[in-house]
Amino acid sequence: MEELKKNIVNKITGHFADAAVKAYDGNRVDFTVKKETIPAILFYLKDEMGYNHLSHISCVDWIEEKEFELIFILWSYTDHIKVFVHTRIDRENPVMDNIDMIWRQANTYEREIKEMYGIHFEGLEAPEEFLLEDWQDMPPMRRDFDTEAYARKTFWDRREARADAQDVRETITKRTGEELPDVAKKYTR
């Protein structure tokens, strides 16, 4: 396992000058690259190294650093090693290369990331909408989208009715002769 990991680290760092490596215990190797390198490194990993299973594509919003992080997780059926490829892109102008010609299934992930984070994948051919319908607000998975405020504004909700339980609480206090605990007071409006 350690030799396989060393082998892949050597090959990748030899080919891609901008790849920063972090090797973990067990069967995991991480590379951090610039976004321009992504298609090339994925092509290389798939065709030359045998990492032919794209397990996952994920996106994390690092709003404090004004960046989106994209994570591509690959798996080799022969080496049994997980390779994570990280890249960071600008949050203000999120543009990324499309990779669905390497793995067809990447299309689905990209559609979702596009809808949820507003990242534009160049040359992505897919219907505009994926999970949401007629969405008019900002992409909802961004950190600055407040889902609770949106839900309160959009949907009528019944939480005010919690005051109904007031009489039950009063009966209980009367019976036990105790003061209403603070926790209960907090939830009684």
Partner 1 sequence: MREKATTLYLGPQHPGITGNMMVRLKVEGDTVVKAVTEVGYLHRAFEKLAEQRNWLQTFTLMCRFCVPEPDPVEESYARAVETLEGREVPERAKYIRVLVLELARLGSYMLWYGGQAGSLGLYTIGQWSVGDRNYILDLFEELTGGRVYHMYIWPGGVRRDLPAGFEEKVLKTMDYMEQRLKDYEDLMFDNAIFRKRTQGVGIIEPEKAIEHGVVGPPLRGCGIKHDVRIDEPYEVYDKLDFEVPTEDGCDIWARANVRRREMHQSIRIIRQVIDQMPKGEFYNKIPNPQKWRLPQGDAYERTEAIRGEVGMYVASDGTEKPRRVHFRGAAYVHAVTLLEHVLVGENIADVSAIMNSLGTCPPEIER
Partner 2 sequence: MINDKESQKIVDIIQNFARKHSLWVLAYGTGCGAIEIPPTMTSRYDAERLGVRGAATPRQADVLLITGYLTTKTLKRVIRVYEQMQDPKYVIGFGSCTINGGMYFDSYNTIKALDRYLPVDVYINGCMPRPEAVLKGFAKLQELIQAGKADGSKKYKENLEWYRANQKEVIPVWRMPEFNW
Q: Does 77 bind partner 1 (CB under 8 A)?
A: yes
Q: Does 133 bind partner 1 (CB under 8 A)?
A: yes
- With CB under 8 A as the contact rule, the residue among 9, 141, 169, 173 that binds partner 1 is 141
Q: What is the DSSP string of 70-84?
A: EEEEEE-TTT--EEE
Q: CA-based angle 182:187:189, to the nearest 5?
A: 110
Nearest to 41 by CA among 89, 94, 88, 102: 102
Q: Which does 178 bind (CB under 5 to 8 A by kind): partner 2, partner 1, none?
A: none
Minimum CB separation of residue 137 from partner 1 in Å reads: 12
Q: Does 82 bind partner 1 (CB under 8 A)?
A: yes
Q: Which does 156 bind (CB under 5 to 8 A by kind): partner 1, partner 2, none?
A: partner 2
Binding positions for partner 2, rule: CB under 8 A: 132-134, 136-137, 140, 145, 147-148, 150-151, 154-159, 161
Do 70 and 87 meet the contact criterion of CB atoms below 8 Å apart?
yes
Q: Which does 186 bind (CB under 5 to 8 A by kind): partner 2, partner 1, none?
A: none
- Give the type of residue at 125: E
- Cβ nearer to partner 2, comparing 147 with 176: 147
Minimum CB separation of residue 107 from partner 1 in Å reads: 5
Total of residues contacting partner 1 (CB under 8 A): 34
Q: Which does 175 bind (CB under 5 to 8 A by kind): partner 1, partner 2, none?
A: none
Nearest to 59 by CA among 146, 142, 148, 145: 142
Minimum CB separation of residue 171 from partner 1 in Å reads: 29
Q: Alpha helix (H) ranges present in 16-57?
A: 38-47
Minimum CB separation of residue 64 from partner 1 in Å reads: 9
Q: What is the DSSP string of 86-151?
A: EEEEESSS-EEE--TTT-TTHHHHHHHHHHHH-PEEET--S-S-SS-SS--SS-TTSTT--HHHHH
Cα torsion through 173, 174, 179, 185, rounded to 10:
50
User: Which residues of the shown chain bind partner 1 in the complex (CB under 8 A)?
Assistant: 27, 52-56, 58-61, 71, 73, 75, 77, 80, 82, 84, 103-105, 107-108, 127, 129-133, 140-141, 143, 145, 147-148
